[in-house]
Amino acid sequence: MGRPREFDVETALDRATELFWQRGYEGTSVQDLVDALGVNRASLYATFGDKAQLFDAVLDRYQGWVDASIGQALAPPAAGAEAIRAYFSVLVVRATRKAGPRGCLVLNTVTGGATAPVEIQRRVRAAIEATTAQILQALARDPELADRPDLSALARFFAAEGHGLSILARAGVPPQELERAAKVALSVLGSAPPLKRGTERSVRPAAGRRRRVGSSL
């Protein structure tokens, strides 16, 4: 009979996600992970591999949570301005959460991950591009917008606005100011009623080590 596992993997991934989210990939050392997870290095390496492999698992976990919140806001049948409004609403709520790190783990990695392994940089860029693709699809589902020649540029604009809101949230900008900025962004599509607060349900990061790349906050 093999030796029992020394720690709970799901709890360890939760703690690793919070740590990487708060400090970024480069700002988190192996010793930081050992201390936060409450395990020894041998157990850490045996279960997750090196730091890059653990971060890869964290990205999978974080992406499951993003798919269940941001991805859901942009998923069919949401279309046009209503889809973008839902995207901003969910984003502001999640990026300014009272407990734990603010902002977006993926974007935090971008802004402080110049020397992160190439594969991690690739996954992060792919997640960011996936956000733009989801927004483009949501805009295209609106018959009044589908034929606009600048639809791709609009999608890039709204994605950039969302990323900017996440970065501002990490800097401590209050939700009310982020909501006002989102309303201005929405005005390019016409009238923009106030974002609705408290409509997003709480979702825990999804477990598992999937390789699918989805959108970022």
Share of the chain above pLDDT 90, in %: 43
DSSP state of 187: G
Flag the least confident range among 29-38, 49-58, 82-91, 199-208: 199-208
pLDDT for 34 beyond 80: yes
Say if 145 falls within a structural domain.
yes
Mean pLDDT within 81-94: 93
pLDDT for 189 beyond 80: yes
Which CATH number does the domain housing residue 184 bear? 1.10.357.10
Say if 92 falls within a structural domain.
yes
Say if 55 falls within a structural domain.
no
Determine if the peptide bond prior to 193 is cis (ω within 30°).
no
pLDDT for 193 beyond 70: no
pLDDT mean across residues, the chain: 82
Say what the pLDDT of residue 209 is: 40
Q: Distance between CA 22 and CA 60 in Å, rounded?
A: 17
pLDDT for 192 beyond 50: no
Alpha carbon distance, N-terminus to C-terminus of the chain: 44
Say if 99 falls within a structural domain.
yes
Say if 11 falls within a structural domain.
no
Say if 122 falls within a structural domain.
yes
Give 40 or 191, the one with higher predicted confidence: 40
Domain residue limits at 148: 66-189
Q: Could you tell me where the DSSP H helices lie in 102-208? A: 105-112, 118-140, 151-170, 175-186
Query: What is the number of domains present in the chain?
Result: 1
Q: Distance between CA 118 and CA 124 in Å, rounded?
A: 10
Say what the pLDDT of residue 108 is: 77
**Integer CA distances (angstroms), 161 to 30, 31, 165, 196, in order:** 34, 36, 6, 18
pLDDT of 37-81, one tens digit each?
Answer: 888 899 899 999 999 999 999 988 888 888 888 888 999 999 999
Alpha-carbon radius of gyration of the chain? 18
pLDDT of 97-126, one tens digit each?
Answer: 887 788 888 887 776 656 677 888 888 888
Say if 196 falls within a structural domain.
no
Say what the pLDDT of residue 123 is: 84
Only one residue has tokens 């041998």, namely 42
Say if 96 falls within a structural domain.
yes
